[in-house]
Amino acid sequence: VTVRLYQLLLHLYPTSFHHEYGGAMSEVFARRHRDAPGPLGRAALWLETIADVVTNAMLVHLDILRQDLRYIARTLKRAPGFTLTATLIVALGIGATTAAFSVTDFVLVRPLPFPAPERLVKLWERTPGYGRMELSAANYRDWKKAATVFESIGLYHGAAANLTGTSEPLRVEGAAVSFDLFPTLRVQPLLGRLFIEADDRDGAAGTLLLSYRLWQTQFGGDASVVGRQVLLDSEPHTVIGIMPRDFRFPSADAVYWTPLRFNEQMYADRNDNWHYAVGRLRDGVTFEQARAEMDVIAAQSKQQFPRENKDVGAALFRLSDEVSTQARLLLYALSGASLCVLLIACANLANLLLARALERRRELAVRTAMGAGRERMVRQLITESLVLAVFGGGIGVAIAYAAVPLLNRLVPTTLPLASTPAVDLRVLMFAIALTVVTGLSFGLAPLVRLGGKADFSGLREGVRSGGGQKEGLRSVLVVVEIVASVVLLVSAGLLMRALWTIQSTDPGFRSEGVLTMQTPLPIPKYANVATRDAFYSRVVDDLRALPGVTQAAFVSHLPMGKMRGGIWPVSLDGRPVNRAENQNAFLRYVTPGYFAALGIPIKHGRDVAENDTNDRQRVAVISESFIRRFWPTETPASVLGRHFNFVLSDRVVAGVVGDVKMRGLEREAEPQVYLPYKQVDDGAIIGYIPRGLVVRSSTPPASVAPFAREIIRKVDPTLPVTDVNTLIDVVERDTASRSAQLRVLGAFALIAFVLAAVGIHGLLSFAVSQRTQEIGVRMALGAQSSDILTMIVKRSVWLSLAGVIPGIALAYAAGRWMQALLAGVTPADAPTFAVAGALAIAMTVVGSLVPTLRALRVNPISALRAE
């Protein structure tokens, strides 16, 4: 029994060694075992033996590896073309996949940078038409009190402020957070302390937490800043702490945090939804249990407040699920595309190795005849393909390293993620695993075909074609490559069509010749209409006096800017506001001239005017979509003078303007209402104070920027000017991430295309070289070169058809799957398919061109002589 056990252990050695010496070694072991004194001695012998077998087996393996590597280095050096091609193919495949993985992993897979992130959830309201609606403070307070599933829960909302008191006025983005939010996330400050409950109280002294970034850039990383006072929107705030370097919350842009002040006024309106809540589930509570409890609580509060909460439910999501469906889909598409590229690369590698194995049949047969064991040959072939894979993988990682920064654009900025993705250890492990799998699985391909038996036919002179079966496998591999590249071509094509469709969409304004910027007027300094009026008048008058400037005006929020929401309920004929149906419209306060400045056509009636003041009838300028939604039977001319209730008072329609794509080119234009900037109470609706400046000029808009800055600085030196952009840039930015997506997918498609062409070329030229004699014989027997041509072209046409047809079917499926990314372009877009199909066929033809020419140049005499 003991000897049997030892023999089992001997399997750790390479088979050849085991065969050769296993018997003798067992004998030695048997004798030792017999001579061992007592059970203790036998145990010692076992320990010693195990150590001996393990180390020596490893050393024997290493010996063989060293021999193989030396041999492989020699053979690869003799075939530099093969080596280079194989390495590059693997490099492209692994490079593309690694780069895609690093981004996908970063956004979708990797846990959020908080302790126990899987317990973190985000709480929303759910209303008809909105699956995730911000919370009202009142509902939050009630729900929090009733909920038992949370260990803790905190509230926040985004904020922005003017930071003064440092070098120059600065506009900063951040968040107002309740004191329990950061403990919920379980973060600790780098310096100082977090907020405590007292900071949240109405009227408490202003406190402030700085991000590491802001601390470094504006305060030079000086630790004594903790305790110092800074001015935030002209209000004194004491810096109480610095957050850690990697802490980004709620988004990557946030650089400061202030306490979220609760007061009775906040709780007054249960339909004032603008807060976000993050909770941490109690240990042992499952996500489903939490959801169920929140549903019950929401149902109770619906009974309690039947009017305000008529259609309000609770919606709970995991914090890690905050990535939008589109971003998620895009990353899946990216991963799919990279896998396609890898698949093509692997098929190519297998094909190359197959061809090489066939070419080396003689060599291998000779070595088999000379007694090299099959196991040794298999081992050598696998080692060879691993060596190629490792070379290729190394270059691939370098490619990925260079490519990942280009993919950064695909990372949504709405995530609380600190840094940008990079090729790190985790990604490297992935690349290594990928390399090994590639090398192993595709190194085995030729072996499957080499067969188990010693093949002495290879010894004969003048081996003919590799035989139908082997070519069959190679053809299948090439067909797979064509299929994959068609899928990628069509996907890239569909995205391109989508981009073109979007870019040709009319935004509703003329973006040429317009400069935009933000003048973040702080409250309370600009709380009064009169103060603001003075500011606007001076700035606008001075701007209009500039040469080339034709119009200048202010607006609450620019279309397609950072703030794309801002809707208010509309009520007609004194009916109560109904949140169930889509009875909302965009609210924008404007100064006179806004429509002219942006090039929005006034269809009927008039612009807002300087004399639309608070002591006169409140008026509104509405968009055509407003008429379609609320007065579907009316015309732009007939609605003038009609009344509706909007933003706390009655309004009369004074004008009708064209629709603007407020939320971006890909969104439908929703009803819009423009109100004169003077018809608002002092200190009210401060979120909509006109802070966006638009200047239309006949000179290049960028040249106006320095003058505009100077004018604003003269009127209010403490006011920062931010987001200075031409309107063209703003519109372009709207499709920037789409362009980035397209470039990435397009690059993948291009790589796939080239790889597939290389594969086709390789297959056909190999087939031709294997059939040189056959072609020679045929030509000697009178075949015309046109016959030979037909023979090869037929082959390549069959190949491309066999690839293109299933490719198109699969591409259609892929297109349907990513329909959400297509902006209305049908996944069955005929031109795209036609172009992709034609490209694939062209690729096959080009790939087969060189081999065909070579076949045509076969000299029958020399081909026959070789026989």
Partner 1 sequence: MTDLQREADAFLPLPPATFHILLAVADEDRHGYAIIQDVAERTGGELKLSAGTLYRSIQRMLEQGLIVEPRERPAPHEDDERRRYYRITPLGTAVAKAEARRLAQLVKMARARGFAPGRA
Residue 157: φ, ψ to 5° = -145, 155
| Alpha carbon distance, N-terminus to C-terminus of the chain | 59
Contact segment (CB under 8 A) with partner 1 among 16-24, 765-773, 783-791, 827-835 equals: 16-24
Taking the C-alpha atoms of residue 452 and residue 595, their distance in angstroms, rounded to an integer, is: 81
Taking the C-alpha atoms of residue 383 and residue 75, their distance in angstroms, rounded to an integer, is: 13
CB of 252 to partner 1, least distance (A): 58
Looking at residue 562, the DSSP 8-state letter turns out to be: S
CB of 29 to partner 1, least distance (A): 6
Residue appearing with tokens 């100077």: 710
Helix/strand/coil for 356? helix
**853 binds partner 1 per the rule CB under 8 A:** no
CB of 45 to partner 1, least distance (A): 10
Q: Tell me how far the alpha carbon of residue 149 is from its chain's centroid.
A: 33
Contact segment (CB under 8 A) with partner 1 among 20-28, 201-209, 211-219, 845-853 equals: 20-28
Closest residue by Cα to residue 601 from 618, 584, 624: 624
Number of shown-chain residues binding partner 1 (CB under 8 A): 20
CB of 59 to partner 1, least distance (A): 6
Q: Tell me whether residue 48 or residue 610 sits nearer to partner 1 (CB atom).
A: 48
**31 binds partner 1 per the rule CB under 8 A:** yes
CB of 2 to partner 1, least distance (A): 14
User: Are 609 and 655 spatial neighbours (Cβ–Cβ below 8 Å)?
Assistant: no
Residue appearing with tokens 């010996």: 63
* CA dist list (Å): 231 to 135, 193, 850: 29, 19, 73
Taking the C-alpha atoms of residue 74 and residue 232, their distance in angstroms, rounded to an integer, is: 71
Residue 393 identity: G
CB of 52 to partner 1, least distance (A): 4
CB of 473 to partner 1, least distance (A): 37
Binding mask 55-74 for partner 1 (x = CB under 8 A): xxx-xx--x-----------
Binding mask 408-427 for partner 1 (x = CB under 8 A): --------------------
Candidate residues 5, 11, 19, 23; the one interacting with partner 1 per rule CB under 8 A: 23
Contact segment (CB under 8 A) with partner 1 among 45-53, 361-369, 442-450, 603-611 equals: 45-53
Contact segment (CB under 8 A) with partner 1 among 17-25, 263-271, 468-476, 566-574 equals: 17-25
User: Are 596 and 551 spatial neighbours (Cβ–Cβ below 8 Å)?
Assistant: yes
Taking the C-alpha atoms of residue 750 and residue 756, their distance in angstroms, rounded to an integer, is: 10
Q: Tell me whether residue 24 or residue 830 sits nearer to partner 1 (CB atom).
A: 24
Candidate residues 25, 314, 662, 814; the one interacting with partner 1 per rule CB under 8 A: 25
CB of 28 to partner 1, least distance (A): 4
Taking the C-alpha atoms of residue 796 and residue 479, their distance in angstroms, rounded to an integer, is: 10
Candidate residues 3, 5, 19, 20; the one interacting with partner 1 per rule CB under 8 A: 20
Contact segment (CB under 8 A) with partner 1 among 46-54, 559-567, 627-635, 834-842 equals: 46-54
CB of 352 to partner 1, least distance (A): 32
Question: Over 33-55, what HEC string results?
Answer: HHHCCHHHHHHHHHHHHHHHHHH
Name every residue whose Cβ is closer than 8 Å to that of residue 353 and which is 6 or more positions away in sequence.
86, 381, 385, 442, 443, 445, 446
Closest residue by Cα to residue 89 from 747, 844, 754, 749: 754
Binding mask 207-226 for partner 1 (x = CB under 8 A): --------------------
**17 binds partner 1 per the rule CB under 8 A:** yes
**Helix 785-817 / helix 772-780 crossing angle, nearest 10 deg:** 140
CB of 50 to partner 1, least distance (A): 10
Q: Tell me whether residue 29 or residue 535 sits nearer to partner 1 (CB atom).
A: 29
Contact segment (CB under 8 A) with partner 1 among 51-59, 398-406, 455-463, 587-595 equals: 51-59
Q: Tell me whether residue 54 or residue 838 sits nearer to partner 1 (CB atom).
A: 54
Taking the C-alpha atoms of residue 747 and residue 764, their distance in angstroms, rounded to an integer, is: 26
**52 binds partner 1 per the rule CB under 8 A:** yes
Candidate residues 41, 48, 84, 115; the one interacting with partner 1 per rule CB under 8 A: 48
For residue 687 the two structure tokens come to 């979120």
CA dihedral 757, 763, 769, 770 (to 10 degrees): -170
Candidate residues 11, 27, 667, 798; the one interacting with partner 1 per rule CB under 8 A: 27
Taking the C-alpha atoms of residue 190 and residue 225, their distance in angstroms, rounded to an integer, is: 13
Q: Tell me whether residue 28 or residue 850 sits nearer to partner 1 (CB atom).
A: 28
Candidate residues 7, 15, 21, 146; the one interacting with partner 1 per rule CB under 8 A: 21
**502 binds partner 1 per the rule CB under 8 A:** no
Name every residue whose Cβ is closer than 8 Å to that of residue 721 and which is 6 or more positions away in sequence.
517, 518, 519, 708, 709, 712, 713
Taking the C-alpha atoms of residue 597 and residue 174, their distance in angstroms, rounded to an integer, is: 31
User: Are 119 and 287 spatial neighbours (Cβ–Cβ below 8 Å)?
Assistant: no
Candidate residues 1, 24, 781, 830; the one interacting with partner 1 per rule CB under 8 A: 24
| Contact residues: partner 1, CB under 8 A | 17, 20-21, 23-25, 27-29, 31, 48-49, 52-53, 55-57, 59-60, 63
